[in-house]
Copies of this chain bind each other. A is one copy, B any other.
Amino acid sequence: MYIEKIKSPADIKSLDITQLTIVADETRKAVLNRVSKHGGHVGPNLGFVEATVALHYVFNAPEDKFVFDVSHQCYPHKVLTGRASGFLGNVDDMNAISGYSSPAESPVYDNFEVGHTSTSVSLATGLQKARDIKGTKENIIAIIGDGSLSGGEAFEGLDEASELGTGIIIVVNDNEMSIAENHGGIYKNLRALRESNGQCEHNWFKAWGFDYYYEEEGNNLEKLIAIFKKVKDTTVPTVVHIHTEKGHGFQPAIDEKEQWHWGAPFNVEDGSRPEGEASESYDGLFSDWMLAEMKKDPTLIAVTAGTPTAAGFTKEKRDLAGKQHIDMGIAEEQAVAMISGMAKGGLHPVWTVYSTFIQRTYDQIAQDLCINSNPAVINVTWGGSGTMNDITHICLFDIPMLISIPNLLYLAPTTCEEYFSMMKWAIKQDKMPVAIRVPSNGVNHTNEVQQEEYSFSAQYKIAKHGSKVAIIAAGSFYQKGENVVRLLAEKGIDATLINPRYLSSVDATTLDALQKDHQLVVTLEDGCKDGGFGERIASYYGTTDMKVLVGGIKKDLYDRFDQHQLLSDNRLLDEQIVEDILTIVK
């Protein structure tokens, strides 16, 4: 086996094409070995094996700089830069290697920590400028998938790369797919370029001032080597457009490209997965509910931005929704501005977005949506400590961000029934934008009758009246609040339990009333506590005698954390909270 011995790309320089082909085959097998045992990004990595071998053969990393986009295609690069163990070994070896480009892991070969999309060209222009100022001659190579091209930052990056006018190589890895199918006018041009072997009448890249090269056989090692050799050491902005096959070399991933973009472990023989127990999930419940509502209301529109399954909108459900589902491609800014426009035009759009991606569109939420008071709905999913845990995908920051934006209502339901009653009301009302944080601690049910109307100002709900200590437990941490109240009861404290429901402002009436017979308020939120919901309450009580214990996760960079450990480090385990309460109220 070659790849076990490859410690750096230098080790493949002396190989001939037959040997390089073996390296590519072994790399593909290694990638498949990892994703089948550990899970990860399948299709995009399989399609980029040959290109990676060719890039490392032609260019000289680390002098020449590779910048990956979103990292969905960086596994083969890891295999060839000293990290094959993460692909060949056992699951522990795999865990030691992240699924993303990471200088923390490989300071020599990985130039940037990358997890969000559309960033590679922009980051590379910085290296380009640095090279030009220093007067050195290295190649700067940005790699970007066709799906990632739909994000605003990618366009801004291309615009600047052309402006700089010096050598940069942008490899457009066109596998005809985003995470799901592509959406956007640019894909008309990519198709025309593919169908004309790069020769069609209007070429977007040439229009923007790039030298342009097309390679139809993007999984053909020899052809890729030839084209990369041609552009090596270019002194002008250059696009190399290669047509690859997503999932190349693994039939199940070729047949079902969307399902095999990312996946949990599977049987590498046939792509089968052990059938999990069928369990309720909010994406499934939401999409079913939406489809039912859509039938009654043609103005109800489900919106996604590149990740339709975040909202449960699988291919089948997208087809059922027809014109009432729209995906933007990976373009969150467009999603927010467009839902504002749709609401202005009389539609009822609901945009579903993962917590980690909402920060890609702060300005549009504040300007296009909230200043305009257009009543669109944002469905924020996976917010909290129990979802994604890669450093680039942390889902702890949506609360501080959204509750700092004026004229946005941010609601935190605690159960399935409360979620849908809030959603129904948010869609029906016509006064302002409303964001709803989908619970991320599993689907909890309640028999309690839900209200149909909600106030536009915060009205906390007192679930249980007690005294001395009040627990204000928001959203996904509400059940934790219930546990704490139960444990406190065992210690002789009859605590009050409050479901605040509103994150975006405080309920002064309820807070004032607590002062009569409470000494301590404990706030619990499943997110970053710096700038969060609890601090508003601490500030509100700042000049009173009420003590406030703010429970949340400390602002910091976290990578591949264990949820239990994270909660423990932040004194958020049920027993720790009780312990801390008891040191304050004796």
Distance to closest chain B CB from A348 (angstroms): 10
Contact with B along A236-261 (1 / 0, CB 8 A): 01000000000000000000000000
**Which stretch from A30-38, A87-95, A146-154, A312-320 is at the chain B interface?**
A146-154
| A interface residues, how many (CB within 8 angstroms) | 122
Indicate if the CB atoms of B207 and A189 lie closer than 8 Å: yes
User: A13 interface residue, CB < 8 Å from B?
Assistant: no
User: A10 interface residue, CB < 8 Å from B?
Assistant: no
Indicate if the CB atoms of B153 and A344 lie closer than 8 Å: no
Tell whether A531 pairs with B403 under 8 Å between CB atoms, given A185-B158, A368-B122, A539-B548: yes
Copies per complex of this chain: 2
Indicate if the CB atoms of A333 and B152 lie closer than 8 Å: yes
Contact with B along A100-129 (1 / 0, CB 8 A): 000100000001111110010011111111
User: A328 interface residue, CB < 8 Å from B?
Assistant: yes
Q: Which residues of B are found within 8 Å of A372, using beta-carbon distances?
A: 103, 112-113
Q: Which residues of B are found within 8 Å of A208, using beta-carbon distances?
A: 185-186, 188-189, 204
Contact with B along A262-275 (1 / 0, CB 8 A): 00000000000000
Q: Which residue of B lies closest to A366 (CB)?
A: B359
Indicate if the CB atoms of B183 and A209 lie closer than 8 Å: no
Distance to closest chain B CB from A119 (angstroms): 5
Indicate if the CB atoms of A331 and B543 lie closer than 8 Å: no
Indicate if the CB atoms of B548 and A403 lie closer than 8 Å: no
Contact check: which of B134, B535, B549 meets A536 at CB < 8 Å?
B535
Distance to closest chain B CB from A393 (angstroms): 10
User: A99 interface residue, CB < 8 Å from B?
Assistant: no
User: A513 interface residue, CB < 8 Å from B?
Assistant: no
CA distance A357 to B332 in the complex (A): 18
Tell whether A539 pairs with B543 under 8 Å between CB atoms, given A347-B133, A557-B371: no
User: A442 interface residue, CB < 8 Å from B?
Assistant: no
User: A582 interface residue, CB < 8 Å from B?
Assistant: no
Q: Which residue of B lies closest to A114 (CB)?
A: B367
Q: Which residues of B are found within 8 Å of A370, using beta-carbon distances?
A: 557
User: A155 interface residue, CB < 8 Å from B?
Assistant: yes
CA distance A346 to B340 in the complex (A): 42
Choose among A201, A343, A345 the residue with the greatest number of B CB atoms under 10 Å from its CB: A345
Q: Which residues of B are found within 8 Å of A113, using beta-carbon distances?
A: 367, 371-372
Indicate if the CB atoms of A400 and B391 lie closer than 8 Å: no
Indicate if the CB atoms of A360 and B359 lie closer than 8 Å: no
User: A341 interface residue, CB < 8 Å from B?
Assistant: yes
Contact check: which of B127, B151, B557 meets A156 at CB < 8 Å?
B151
CA distance A151 to B352 in the complex (A): 24
Q: Which residues of B are found within 8 Å of A346, using beta-carbon distances?
A: 130, 134
Indicate if the CB atoms of B160 and A334 lie closer than 8 Å: yes
Indicate if the CB atoms of B133 and A299 lie closer than 8 Å: yes
Distance to closest chain B CB from A79 (angstroms): 23
CA distance A334 to B153 in the complex (A): 6
Q: Which residues of B are found within 8 Å of A130, using beta-carbon distances?
A: 341-342, 344-347
Distance to closest chain B CB from A540 (angstroms): 8
User: A515 interface residue, CB < 8 Å from B?
Assistant: no
Contact check: which of B131, B186, B298 meets A133 at CB < 8 Å?
B298
Distance to closest chain B CB from A545 (angstroms): 9
Indicate if the CB atoms of B129 and A301 lie closer than 8 Å: yes
Indicate if the CB atoms of B122 and A334 lie closer than 8 Å: yes
CA distance A555 to B357 in the complex (A): 23
Contact with B along A259-301 (1 / 0, CB 8 A): 0000000000000000000000000000000000000001101
Q: Which residues of B are found within 8 Å of A363, using beta-carbon distances?
A: 116, 357, 359-362
Q: Which residue of B lies closest to A149 (CB)?
A: B159
Interface residues of chain A, those whose CB is within 8 Å of chain B, are 67, 103, 111-116, 119, 122-134, 150-153, 155-163, 183-189, 192, 201-204, 206-210, 237, 298-299, 301, 323-324, 326, 328-329, 331, 333-334, 337-347, 349, 357, 359-364, 366-368, 370-372, 391-392, 397, 400-401, 403-407, 505, 520, 528-531, 534-536, 538-539, 541-544, 547-550, 555-557, 584
Can you offer 8 A-B residue contacts whose CB atoms are under 8 A? A125-B334, A129-B326, A153-B337, A156-B328, A188-B207, A362-B401, A530-B536, A531-B536
Apart from A162-B185, A163-B184, A204-B207: 6 A-B pairs, beta carbons within 8 A: A133-B298, A134-B345, A152-B153, A404-B404, A530-B536, A541-B542
